Amino acid sequence: RAEQLHALIHESSVTLDGHQVELAANIGVPGDAVIGVAHGAEGVGLFRSEFLFMNRDSLPSEEEQFQAYQEAVQTLDGKPVIIRTMDIGGDKSLDYLQLPAELNPFLGYRAIRISLDREDMFKTQLRAILRASHYGRVKVMYPMIATRDEVVAANEVLEAAKQELRSEGIPFDEDMEVGIMVEIPAAAIAADQLAEVVDFFSIGTNDLIQYTMACDRMNEKVSYLYQPYHPSILRLVKMVIDAAHQHGKWAGMCGEMAGDLNIVPVLVGLGIDELSMSPPSILPVREQIRQSRFEDLQELAAEALRQSTSDAVKNLVVQATD
């Protein structure tokens, strides 16, 4: 069985009738990139850069960040690496930033909200990412986007970083793609308008489910509401994919749901272009895709969208994969 899976390491993730999806790895530290490649990743779909900022007592310098990003980029050897700008706040605190205690940290000062407020810090990170883009195929992704204004503001800082590098004669990829995480319901609902100002979406279901269901992803008392297969979630996912495609952009997913063998057939049927997951999930998902027909998955997705409860969706998909 393990050998059977291993044989798929260099194969593409394509259905029997020729529909292709990209399977990528989620990584935390640059060294994880090696694990992703060993599991057949076609790219890195989520580099959680905040790990470079944690477990230390000061901000990482531009040079330190550049080296970490460059390491991952070189390991991927020309395959795409999506670097998410730091997602601090919520449950991830940094003592040296002296973030104020908050009543609702998950609704508070976190991720892009901190980056746009601390422009010096943000520009340093963007410079490091841009510099790494010269060594492979880098894409940058902003976390926790709620509004189009935030994207525009972040892109202004990105443009300033590019200007600086140009004037310093430091090379970078002028065509680096810029995308956002769709993990706040507002972004999913207005995805058609956001699609006008980004190159891609990556759906962050871990947070999207928490915010859609108003259910803390860490609180066991309400975990019964944390329902990845809930009709509201499937509808939002469909809206995001459709909005992207209508604007000639692509849509991926990097939450835990992306590696869930039960729901992957539905996601592929909805037209997801890329799935990014923890490395050990990649080959099983690839095997499953290679054994399916896209036409069948499209029908399954349509059927899933007609269900009104998570359990009904679960029954449907479990039957379909039997």
Please identify every residue annotated as catalytic: 254
State yes or no: residue 39 binds ligand PEP (CB under 6 A): no
Binding to ligand PEP in span 248-267, by CB under 6 A: 254-255
List C-alpha distances in Å: 20 to 165, 248, 274, 286: 36, 17, 9, 10
Stretch that binds ligand PEP, among 125-133, 200-208, 239-247, 306-314 (CB under 6 A): 200-208
Residue 84 assigned to a binding site? yes
State yes or no: residue 87 binds ligand PEP (CB under 6 A): yes
CB nearer to ligand PEP: pick between 45 and 131: 45
Residue 196 assigned to a binding site? no
Would strands 20-27 and 13-14 be described as parallel, antiparallel, or unpaired?
Answer: antiparallel
Residue 235 assigned to a binding site? no
Number of residues that bind Mg ion (CB under 5 A): 3
How far is Cα 97 from Cα 57, in angstroms, rounded to an integer?
A: 9
Beta-bridge partners for 27: 47
Q: Whats the size of the chain, residue-wise?
A: 322
- Tokens coding 89: 């706040």
Beta-bridge partners for 24: 276
- Per-residue exposure over 18-51, b if at least 16 CB sit within 10 Å of its own CB, e if not: ebebbbbbbbeebebbeebbebbbbbbbbbbbbb
List C-alpha distances in Å: 313 to 22, 84, 260, 276, 301: 24, 31, 14, 22, 10
Stretch that binds Mg ion, among 25-33, 123-131, 179-187, 282-290 (CB under 5 A): 179-187
**CB 203 to ligand PEP: min, Å:** 7
**CB 46 to ligand PEP: min, Å:** 6
State yes or no: residue 207 binds ligand PEP (CB under 6 A): yes
One of 42, 150, 183, 274 touching ligand PEP (CB under 6 A): 183
Amino acid at 246: Q
Q: Which does 141 bind (CB under 5 to 8 A by kind): Mg ion, ligand PEP, none?
A: none
State yes or no: residue 307 binds ligand PEP (CB under 6 A): no
CB nearer to ligand PEP: pick between 69 and 211: 211
| 8 A C-beta contact, residue 218 and residue 163 | no
How far is Cα 82 from Cα 137, in angstroms, rounded to an integer?
A: 9
CB nearer to Mg ion: pick between 183 and 260: 183
Q: Which of 121, 145, 125 is nearest to 133 (CA)?
A: 125
Binding to Mg ion in span 196-215, by CB under 5 A: 204, 207
201 backbone dihedrals φ, ψ, rounded to 5°: -120, 145
CB nearer to ligand PEP: pick between 9 and 51: 51
Report the half-sphere exposure of 223 (CA within 13 A, side-chain side).
4
48 backbone dihedrals φ, ψ, rounded to 5°: -80, 90
Beta-bridge partners for 82: 139
**CB 26 to Mg ion: min, Å:** 11
CB nearer to ligand PEP: pick between 140 and 254: 254
How far is Cα 238 from Cα 236, in angstroms, rounded to an integer?
A: 5
Q: Which does 238 bind (CB under 5 to 8 A by kind): ligand PEP, Mg ion, none?
A: none
Number of residues that bind ligand PEP (CB under 6 A): 10
CB nearer to Mg ion: pick between 144 and 320: 144
Q: Which does 301 bind (CB under 5 to 8 A by kind): Mg ion, ligand PEP, none?
A: none
Instruction: Point out the annotated binding site for Mg(2+).
Output: 183, 207
Residues in the site for ligand PEP, rule: CB under 6 A?
Answer: 46, 48, 87, 183, 204-207, 254-255
Instruction: Point out the annotated binding site.
Output: 48, 84, 183, 206-207, 217
